[in-house]
Amino acid sequence: MSSPAPDYLHLLRVELARLGAVDPDHLNKSIPHIEGWTVSNVIGHTGWVARYATQAIAATPDAPPSRSDVPEPPPGHEVIAWYDEGQKALLAAVESADPEHICPTFTGPQPVRWWQRRLAHEASIHRWDAYAATGSPDAIDPNQARDAIDEVFEVFASVRMQFDVLGGAGETLHFHATDIDDGEWLVTLGADGIEWSHEHAKADVAARGPVSDLLLMLWGRIPPSRLELFGDATLLDRWQGASAF
């Protein structure tokens, strides 16, 4: 039996609040896995995304918001209040919108519930980023992480993967989450796309570990070596090198 879909609105509220609770004294700390970024950059970026998504949710597909219309984050400690203002406006917009209202997204017109999912996963990854600057961040909720892995294959592999860099020619990847009952994925790499399914099968490389760690590896947050690997692990290095997530 497959897991139920996460409560995206609840997860969005929780993860935005956790990111907003970052110690202001940590704003200048570096994000170890994102070169040139600090905690301040993570908070500012997430506040920017919140503002853009708020505009998109209120828009129609034929009149999408312009990225240039969204203000850039302020410097210094002002970014915290700026972030808080943006995330409150976003939550108000998401909670009041019809989930079936069709609005613009970077994948084309989608219902508002598409943004609910995307923003919940966005907030969880960036909360993890911010807390990674000061220690060992809490894992992402397992049911959420499972759904976020599906989103990687459904959405990001088609719009953000550099397939010329990946050089797929039928190689297969198998991912096995060790802490949930229905967490297996089989991915086949093609020259200009991927095929994927939930199944157990022998592959050119297999990666086993907690579902949060599998997600973080796919997003380039942790190295493949943090997982239990079998087979050609260079395929996972290629994935990380070609993904522009």
Q: What is the pLDDT of residues 177-227, one digit of tens each?
A: 999 999 999 999 999 999 999 999 999 999 999 999 999 999 999 999 999
DSSP 194-214: EEEES-----SEEEEE-HHHH
pLDDT tier at 2 (50, 70, 90 boundaries)? low
DSSP 43-54: HHHHHHHHHHHH
Q: What is the pLDDT of residues 134-173, one digit of tens each?
A: 988 999 999 999 999 999 999 999 988 999 999 999 999 9
Superfamily for 148-242?
SCP2 sterol-binding domain (3.30.1050.10)
pLDDT more than 70, % of the chain: 99
Domain made up of 8-132: CATH architecture? Up-down Bundle (1.20)
Across residues 2-19, what is the average pLDDT? 91
The predicted pLDDT at position 47 comes to 98
Residues of the chain with CATH 1.20.120.450: 8-132
Residues of the chain with CATH 3.30.1050.10: 148-242
Structure-token pair, residue 71: 């203000």
- CB-CB contact of 187 with 156 (8 Å): no
Mean pLDDT of the chain: 96
Provide the CA 111 distance to its chain's centre, in angstroms. Answer: 19
The predicted pLDDT at position 5 comes to 79
